């Protein structure tokens, strides 16, 4: 695989997520450190809840918010 393709698959930065129903949380991937539900608003504006996400899962989805309401998973890390 050419290096240019590989670099688009690897995150450049990561940050601990603080869930919020109002503040933006823009990420392209989420790592779930503690099992539970993850409620998000996608880049397209859809509200979706991923149910019973296991520990260690990476969700490859572009989100603009990780909602406090409906999110029970813990130790979430957002990546770009």
- Written as one string, the DSSP assignment of 14-80 is EEE----SSS---BSEEEEEE-EEEEEEETTS-EEEEEEEPTT-EE---EEEE-STT---EEEEEE-
pTM attached to this predicted model:
0.89
pLDDT at 79: 97
pLDDT at 11: 85
Neighbours of 39 (CB within 10 A): 21
Note down pLDDT in tens along the chain; length 80 residues: 455 555 567 888 999 999 999 999 999 999 999 999 999 999 999 999 999 999 999 999 999 999 999 999 999 999 99
Query: CA 14, CA 30: separation in Å to the nearest integer?
Result: 9
pLDDT at 4: 55
């Amino acid at each position: 695989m050419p290096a240019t393709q590989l670099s688009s698959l690897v995150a450049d930065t990561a940050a601990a997520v603080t869930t919020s129903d109002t503040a933006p949380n823009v990420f392209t991937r989420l790592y779930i450190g503690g099992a539970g539900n993850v409620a998000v608003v996608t880049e397209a504006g859809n509200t979706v809840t991923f149910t019973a996400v296991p520990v260690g899962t990476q969700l490859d989805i572009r989100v603009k918010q990780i909602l406090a309401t409906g999110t029970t998973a813990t130790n979430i890390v957002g990546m770009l």
